[in-house]
Chain A
Amino acid sequence: MSAVADAHAADHHDHGPAKGIGRWLFTTNHKDIGTMYLVFSFAMFIAGGAMAMIIRAELFQPGLQMVEPAFFNQMTTMHGLVMIFGAVMPAFVGLANWMIPLMVGAPDMALPRMNNWSFWLLVTGSLILMSTLFMDGGAPNFGWTAYAPLSTTYGPDSTTFFIFSVHILGISSIMGAINVIATIINMRAPGMTLMKMPMFVWTWLITAFLLIAVLPVLAGAVTMLLMDIHFGTAFFDAAGGGDPVLYQHIFWFFGHPEVYILILPAFGIISQIIPTFSRKPLFGYTSMVYATAAIAILSFLVWSHHMFTVGLPLPGELFFMYATMIIAVPTGVKIFNWITTMFRGSISFETPMLFAIGFVVLFTVGGLSGVMLAIAPADFQYHDTYFVVAHFHYVLIPGAIYGIFASVYYWLPKWSGRMYSEALGKAHFWLSFIGLNIAFFPMHFLGLAGMPRRYADYPIQFANFNQVSTIGAFLFGASQLLLVFIVYRAVKSGPKADAKPWEGAEGLEWTVPSPAPYHTFEQPPRVD
């Protein structure tokens, strides 16, 4: 492979990266753009994490110690928005940029100039969103869901900027999704049929279709908010003949597939990593592909399970309960396939594998509390309590975030050509694992005992578990700084990595040298 690349490089002399800041501003190289996405999303992860620390510090004791409820509500809102739109989604796009061309044997993404634009739109949209924190009246304070009329008639002035930032972030994501689809459909190496694609490529393909399907719905929902605020319409204003619940229907028609947008690429990552460190092929590849597709299709049919208490008619309530419960089936299939992949393998426990096993264990916890939440009559108790907060943090942190961490450790040798410190990586895993469980497990108890979510202050019966939770949250938060150090140290002075640093790894990305040259697969490889 490298012989081909070298021969090709001899014909051209302008193939290296440009010098200076121009390299990053104008780059159309999928690796540079991938790196920028990953670095930017990590910065946003730290920003969103800092907001979470403010929330947890305030909740350490009953009473108002640190912040006023008005600012507390801005923190819960911005934490959600920043983590979803600024951290997790861009991190997955960054991984897609870096890895999809390498995994399908393509020289770059199909639409490199658009790729550059979608990254810089992400930065623009994120900066507009963050700037609302410094505006008169403060940042959005109505929760990331922006329910009308709290976000319209009663919203702060910065709501308009929130709406535009969602538009811009949505455009950025749609362009990223189009790019992913175009790359996967058109640029696979000869011989790589759809059913030979790595699982990460498969899950991203399905995610990209979800993005294109639902982001315009979100754009429509927030545009209707915009019109209610500024143009005198009454889409969501009952006094003008509108319906506040309509907003929730439109929002969650976006919102539920969005949940799977945040998790499906991580499913793909885990399906790459578990076989590598079990030294055994993924069990049930075909059923994994079908299960992912089934989850994606079902995600369009379950949105009202976020709205069991808004007064849905009984048949609607029953339909959404049954549909939601059915999602447990393909999700279970995936869990069983991962475990069977490990079963009778030859397992080693490098950091990516620890995060992958942590993913399977903790995602199971989140999945099972999801089944409980699907039971509509019981949801009349669970809804909008800390039980829900526990549930979605158990699927999003071990799901999306652990997936991203696992892939950073897994592919860092390929990106940087250097190995990270295994001892420090393991420390990062264990601190995160312990911190996460101390922070979020007690939230199940708080919710069941009756604590509603988005509360700046609470009755004293909830004091003990809130205190425990805050301690865990700070442990989890602080241990993420370790990741910065680990990556920095590896890139600066880590030992050199082989082209294939993992004994059991399979796939085209391991056939190119580490670090991956600026241009790879200028001649497509052949896949048998």
Chain B
Amino acid sequence: MSVQALRAGALATAVTAPSSALAEWGVNLPEGVTSISNTIYDIHMWVFWICVVIGVGVFLAILWSVLAYRHSKGAKPAHFHENTTVEIIWTVIPFLILIMMAIPATGTLVDMYDTSDAEMEIKVTGYQWRWQYEYMDEDISFFSSPDTPRDAEKNLMEKTGDYKYSVDNPLVLPVDTKIRFLITSNDVIHSWWVPEFGWKQDAIPGFINKNWAKIEEPGTYYGLCAELCGQGHSDMPIEVKAVPKDEYREWVAEQTGEDG
């Protein structure tokens, strides 16, 4: 399959798919659609720019040294080899910079761990190789399995924009609702990750991990399993359909009606 065909496939889905799935030259984290993911993005950029400044400083110092003190240009070596003052300075200043990073990081972490006052709960269970979603407050439970055609993997047919992302039953969630996720596994360790929500959380057999999201924008958000779980590791995608609250109520009624 040619690269052009792949690109064409990606472009074809431009109207329906979220922007992140199209960023073929994407270089950065998504800002995400929850307040936590926005904060994480801000910390990421804050730390990133500090690192860039430090890195540029270090590289300029190296560049200056190798350009200005070349043996081939007849540079005579100095003989200094110790200076306690500068050693103290370059121990203390990095320490202060680290504190500037640690303060916002601590606050965000505390918020991420606050799973209290959730308005609804979803239990996510990892299986080799699919996810099970249980709506703890409703009588809804289903498996979400990958449905990328084998022929596309084998390069026998065109790959579409949702290649390796599409599932048979997406997880449907309401927006503007604090949702607590209870994450566990039935076999090996998996990890449930939707980048637009800002976190991944390991799904561990015998243990229930908690995390939460309050989605602010309706849309379709994709994710992938992020912990090696066997040969189908790259075959257990996540698709979340975030819908307005009333639409969500309709969907729930439809599901429970069918079941009952």
Contact = CB atoms under 8 A, between A and B. Distances in A.
Contact of B59 (A149, A361, A460): A361
A332 B79 CA distance: 22
Contacts of B152: 63
B27 A384 contact: no
Contacts, number: 308
B233 interface: yes
A438 interface: no
Given A278-B77, A461-B23, A372 B201 contact: no
B226 interface: yes
Nearest to B162: A459
Given A65-B155, A147-B189, A461-B23, A310 B90 contact: no
A383 B189 contact: no
Contact of A368 (B55, B112, B188, B227): B55
B200 A381 contact: yes
Contacts of A381: 29, 40, 44, 195, 198-200
Contacts of B136: none
Contacts of B39: 377
Interface string B194-206: 0100111110111
B94 A64 contact: no
Interface residues of A, number: 98
Interface in A341-385: 341-349, 357, 360-361, 364-365, 368-369, 371-372, 375-378, 380-381, 383-385
Given A310-B202, A311-B204, A459-B165, A335 B113 contact: no
A72 to B, nearest CB: 8
B15 interface: no
Contact of A375 (B1, B43, B66): B43
Name the residue in A245, A286, A344 with the highest tally of chain B Cβ atoms < 10 Å from its Cβ: A344
A346 B68 CA distance: 9
B176 interface: no
A459 B228 CA distance: 17
Nearest to A330: B91
A62 B200 contact: no
Interface stretch (A33-41, A185-193, A265-273, A319-327): A319-327
A70 B79 CA distance: 58
Interface in B157-182: 159, 161-165
Contacts of A239: 205-206
A458 B24 CA distance: 12
A73 interface: yes
Give chain B's interface secondary structure class. Answer: mixed
B35 interface: no
B62 A311 contact: no
Nearest to A380: B199
Given A280-B81, A339-B62, A360-B62, A384 B98 contact: no
A240 B138 CA distance: 31
B243 interface: no
A96 interface: no
Contacts of A376: 105, 109
B106 interface: yes
B228 A150 contact: yes
Contacts of A69: 231-235
A195 interface: no
6 contacts: A62-B164, A153-B188, A154-B187, A309-B202, A314-B110, A381-B29
Interface of B: 1, 3, 6, 9-10, 20-30, 39-40, 43-44, 47-48, 51, 54-55, 58-59, 61-62, 64-66, 69-72, 75-83, 86-87, 90-91, 94-95, 98, 101-102, 105-106, 108-110, 112-113, 128, 152-155, 159, 161-165, 187-189, 191, 193, 195, 198-202, 204-207, 209-210, 222-235
